[in-house]
Amino acid sequence: GDSVTQMEGPVTLSEEAFLTINCTYTATGYPSLFWYVQYPGEGLQLLLKATKADDKGSNKGFEATYRKETTSFHLEKGSVQVSDSAVYFCALVFSGGYNKLIFGAGTRLAVHP
């Protein structure tokens, strides 16, 4: 079935370091791809999305490119801040009516000053 696999955490970085969180997916069709962020004690917030191959989603300095050939959607940020500490979830959804999100297990990021 359709699924999302993320790199295991926690990922621990110093402030201003470069961030990569890997995400790959298995899907029978061509889904839209998302990154959600969850801050402590809160629900999920959409960080960025891409709806077709080679699209790049970006927001708040984060970027991810939809790579159909490698079925990947890796999250990157050039310089992380302490405030980026959170859990990041990669997810996919198929368009056309029912939009059930399928999530990865999440990757916890801890950024230290």
Partner 1 sequence: DAGVTQSPTHLIKTRGQQVTLRCSPKSGHDTVSWYQQALGQGPQFIFQYYEEEERQRGNFPDRFSGHQFPNYSSELNVNALLLGDSALYLCASSRPGNEQFFGPGTRLTVL
Q: Which residues bind partner 1 (CB under 8 A)?
A: 4, 36, 41-46, 49, 89, 91, 95-106
Instruction: Pick between residue 80 and residue 107 the one whose CB is nearest to partner 1.
Output: 107
Cβ atoms of 75 and 46 within 8 Å: the answer is no
Nearest approach, Cβ of residue 48 and partner 1 (Å): 11
Nearest approach, Cβ of residue 51 and partner 1 (Å): 11
Nearest approach, Cβ of residue 97 and partner 1 (Å): 6
How does 87-96 read in b/e, with b if 16+ C-beta sit within 10 Å? bbbbbbbbee
Instruction: Pick between residue 17 and residue 94 the one whose CB is nearest to partner 1.
Output: 94
Q: Which of 70, 107, 73 is nearest to 92 (CA)?
A: 73
Measured between alpha carbons, how far is residue 36 from residues 28, 69, 88, 104 in Å? 22, 23, 6, 10
Instruction: Pick between residue 98 and residue 113 the one whose CB is nearest to partner 1.
Output: 98
